């Protein structure tokens, strides 16, 4: 988790990096300090499964609330179906090989 902080009044810049442990990464919410962090923390929860303790409404931001898993984790495997709708196709388009074009 990386925070980029910038003080408009003082011109200070500060970068904070926090290492989190799988399988249940959690950290304190900063949304009560910076309101803009509210939705950003919800997106991080949605996509990476990070738990922000003290967040007032830590629900998925972009995906449906009954979605299974957190898609931007590298070990995420998509479910074959979502409410009976296929999420995969049999033949994906072949990747362009290097050196063509």
Q: Which region among 17-25, 28-36, 48-56, 63-71 touches other proteins (by CB under 8 A)?
A: 63-71
One-character DSSP codes across 56-99: S----SSS-TT--S-TTSTT----SEETTEE---SSPPPPPPTT
Calculate the alpha carbon distances from 92 to 3, 19, 39, 100 in Å.
Answer: 37, 35, 33, 19
Nearer to other proteins among residue 64 and residue 84 (C-beta): 64
Q: How far is the CB of 92 from other proteins (least distance, A)?
A: 7
Nearer to other proteins among residue 8 and residue 92 (C-beta): 92
Q: Which region among 7-15, 16-24, 25-33, 89-97 touches other proteins (by CB under 8 A)?
A: 89-97
């Amino acid at each position: 988790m990386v925070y980029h902080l910038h003080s408009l009044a003082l011109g200070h810049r500060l970068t904070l990096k926090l290492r989190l442990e799988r399988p249940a990464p959690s950290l304190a919410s900063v949304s009560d300090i910076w309101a803009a962090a509210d939705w950003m923390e919800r997106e991080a929860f949605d996509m990476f499964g990070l738990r922000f303790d003290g967040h007032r409404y830590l629900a998925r931001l972009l995906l449906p609330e009954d979605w299974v898993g957190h898609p931007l984790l590298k070990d995420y495997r998509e479910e074959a179906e979502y409410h009976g709708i296929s999420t995969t196709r049999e033949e994906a388009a072949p990747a362009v090989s290097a050196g063509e074009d």
